[in-house]
Structure 1
Amino acid sequence: MTRKTVRIAMNGVTGRMGHHQHLVRSILALREQGGLDLGEGTVLWPEPVLVGRREHALRALAERHGLEHVSTDLDAVLADPSVDIYFDAQVTSAREEALKKAIAAGKHVYTEKPSATGLAGALDLARLATDAGIKHGVVQDKLFLPGLLKLKRLIDGGFFGRILSVRGEFGYWVFEGDWQPAQRPSWNYRAADGGGIVVDMFPHWEYVLHELFGRVRSVQALTATHVPQRWDEGGKPYDATADDAAYGIFELDGGAIAQINSSWAVRVNRDELVEFQVDGTEGSAVAGLRNCRVQHRSTTPKPVWNPDLPVAHSFRDQWQEVPDNQGPEGFDNGFKAQWELFLKHVYADAPYRWDLLAGARGVQLAELGLRSSAEGRRVDVPEIAL
């Protein structure tokens, strides 16, 4: 076997998502398994170069994981011809400029979403990358969750018949930061810093709906800032200026209607932090991060509304679990699975459709969702192209 080393500049991996999902559970996990097999006797060996603003944090991270290369000089890293790929997991407000620099330097780019703070910037990135002839991708990790992979299997197998509706519930209580530390960084709740649940989650909902059920044709959203004051990482109070909840209705190609609630101010009373119920003429399913349950038309009970009598059975027990069917090793980490596909796209010319234009669709939906809430009306979602 021939080992091909690829140096990947990873910007923003001192943050929770960049560190745990992209560095540890994706790139370092690939190294632990001996690299990525590209076929024809070649194994790809990823060599991360940690990039960021805080040198002490980068060096501590590198020491913890036995890595050698860190830098606080992004321009110098991008000028290094031995670096092939630039990955961005920074705060949203810093991402667009850094991606433009990487594209101008001729690097392949892979980025967390949203790719930019607005549709114009996201489309500009897609055009620049296409014109530069580089490979580019946007993280769309939820497509690779075991629960949604099972749901996709049901769709492909025709289980639902004609799909009528999709109902999604996402969220959990994020502590305010005064009497218990918050689970999310404070910039998430400041609009000026690119925060807000619409900007964060609507790009996810766009690709989930687009890939599984059909393109979003219209959006009607209502946003709220339910918790107006929070405390930052230093224990200082600040005004929450970004939305922490959004209630959206999406009309899809083919006629299905999706309704998705997103909130950082809700206490969880469901099996998983995100769940989607899909109802069709032939059957229904409820899918979460890992699990998926179904109820076929032929086994659907006949509920009768009677408030005078207690319910004598469990509605949940009337559903059937969808098996994993993934072999002895089961499902891989979703972030790692998409990293593998992107690396094969770059180095083995494998097909890959989750590019910067796909990322721009997510930015568009977030932008139009905010407009819908501000104007109090349903907004059409036009198709975009380069």
Structure 2
Amino acid sequence: MSTQRLGIIMHGVTGRMGMNQHLIRSILAIREQGGVVLSNGDRVVVDPILVGRNADKIERLAKQHGVERWTTDVDAALANPDDRLFFDAASTQLRAELLKKAMDAGKDVYSEKPTAETLDVALDLARYAKAKGVKNGVVHDKLSLPGLMKLKALRENGFFGDILSVRGEFGYWVFEGGWQEAQRPSWNYRKKDGGGIILDMLCHWRYVLDHTFGPVRSVSCLGKTHIPKRYDENGQPYVADADDAAYATFELEGGAVVQLNSSWCTRVHRDDLVTFHVDGTLGSAVAGLHGCKTQSRVNTPKPVWNPDVPQTMNFYDDWAEVPNNRVYDNGFKVQWEDFIRHLFEDTPWSYDLLSGAKGVQLAELGQKSWAERRWIDIPELEV
């Protein structure tokens, strides 16, 4: 048994997602546990170098978490042959150019999503990686959420029978700023900066639906900008012209219908910030980020519609919790570990730049559906 080093150039990890999920809860957690164990017993230890534009911010982050290497010079970092992998969690608008530059430097690449703002750019990026022969991955973190893993296990074990429909609710109230600080950065609400919930969330819904319930075959989407005025990080008002809510319907292969609402303008009255209700011929399930409850055909109650008297049935009592029969680790960390094994052992890996392009495709077609107010079929993508 031996130990192998993986040098990782981590770009854009001073932002909320990059810092918390990728740096602290994934790479530093992997470092703390002693690395990733391969099938032959070898161990891969991670050695990150943090890259960002703000020297003070990146230095403080590195020192706070005991990361010895940091720089503001992306080109210098890419020139180091000892660092094999480039990771990007910064601006979507700059992502394709950065990933190509990394591939030109001989690096394998791993990226947040969306991989680009348009399908043409995202697909070109996937083809570029194939031509370069580099290993590549795109974060598909929600597939490793306990709730969704339980739903997938139920489907694979035949619990649902034929899936009829899926209803999903995602979102929460993002404060406008000014009187109450916003929980999300202001660029999310400006078109020119790549903002908009359709581009953000339909990229997620593509891989969630494809891998959990079945391939998406068509989409109908209505976007809205409910709150046109917000306040930025400096308390200054700005025009919020990007969509802050999306109301989408999808048809899956086999005919199942999915309704998914995504909104930064909704106050939560449900069990979690995202919930999925799945109805099938043999049973139904409701899942959030972690929990999942089921109701089988034989346990389904028989309510009677009578609007003249108060409802006496407690419908929540007729559902059973799916037990936690395994330990669920952080979803981002799980995918980092799987991708590292793919790098060193060539284990199967489905979440590549082509899969990322499919997410951009769905977002683009969702926007097209909104603009043209019609259903749109989803063509197959190839590289």
Shared fold by TM > 0.5?
yes
Structure 2: segments with no counterpart, 5+ residues: none
Task: Give yes or no for the alignment of 1:130 onto 2:127.
Answer: no
Deviating more after overlay: 87-96 vs 32-41: 32-41
Tell me the distance in 2 between the aligned counterparts of 1:294 and 1:356.
Answer: 35
Tell me the distance in 1 between the aligned counterparts of 2:269 and 2:99.
Answer: 39
Q: Give the count of matched residue pairs.
A: 383
Residue 82 of structure 1 aligns with which residue?
Answer: 82
Tell me the distance in 2 between the aligned counterparts of 1:241 and 1:105.
Answer: 38
Task: Give yes or no for the alignment of 1:157 onto 2:157.
Answer: yes
TM-score normalized by structure 1? 0.98
Tell me the distance in 2 between the aligned counterparts of 1:52 and 1:117.
Answer: 21
Residue 343 of structure 1 aligns with which residue?
Answer: 340
The CA deviation at 1:111 is 0.4
Residue 219 of structure 2 aligns with which residue?
Answer: 219
Tell me the distance in 2 between the aligned counterparts of 1:164 and 1:115.
Answer: 32
C-alpha deviations, 1:41-98, integer Å up to 9, x for none?
A: 3111101110111111100000100111111111111111111000010021121111
Query: What SS does structure 1 have at the residue aligned with 2:38?
Result: strand
The CA deviation at 1:40 is 2.3
C-alpha deviations, 1:354-382, integer Å up to 9, x for none?
A: 10000000000000000100111111110
Residue 109 of structure 2 aligns with which residue?
Answer: 109
Residue 182 of structure 2 aligns with which residue?
Answer: 182
Residue 65 of structure 1 aligns with which residue?
Answer: 65
Tell me the distance in 2 between the aligned counterparts of 1:86 and 1:334.
Answer: 20
RMSD: 0.8
Residue 249 of structure 1 aligns with which residue?
Answer: 249
Residue 331 of structure 2 aligns with which residue?
Answer: 334
The CA deviation at 1:213 is 1.5
Correspondence list, 1:94-105, <5 A: 94-105=94-105
Residue 364 of structure 2 aligns with which residue?
Answer: 367
Tell me the distance in 1 between the aligned counterparts of 2:260 and 2:174.
Answer: 19
Residue 354 of structure 2 aligns with which residue?
Answer: 357
Tell me the distance in 1 between the aligned counterparts of 2:40 and 2:379.
Answer: 43
C-alpha deviations, 1:114-172, integer Å up to 9, x for none?
A: 01111011111111111111110000000000000111110010000000001100000
Query: What SS does structure 1 have at the residue aligned with 2:159?
Result: coil
Tell me the distance in 1 between the aligned counterparts of 2:243 and 2:103.
Answer: 32
Task: Give yes or no for the alignment of 1:272 onto 2:272.
Answer: yes
Tell me the distance in 2 between the aligned counterparts of 1:27 and 1:269.
Answer: 34
Structure 1: segments with no counterpart, 5+ residues: none
Query: What SS does structure 2 have at the residue aligned with 1:285?
Result: strand
Report if the CA contact (8 A) 1:150-1:324 is conserved: no
Tell me the distance in 1 between the aligned counterparts of 2:378 and 2:151.
Answer: 25
Structure 1 letter corresponding to 2:132? A
Tell me the distance in 2 between the aligned counterparts of 1:7 and 1:178.
Answer: 42
Query: What SS does structure 1 have at the residue aligned with 2:314?
Result: coil
Tell me the distance in 1 between the aligned counterparts of 2:216 and 2:49.
Answer: 38
Structure 2 letter corresponding to 1:369? G
Report if the CA contact (8 A) 2:152-2:213 is conserved: no
Structure 2 letter corresponding to 1:245? A
Query: What SS does structure 2 have at the residue aligned with 1:39?
Result: coil
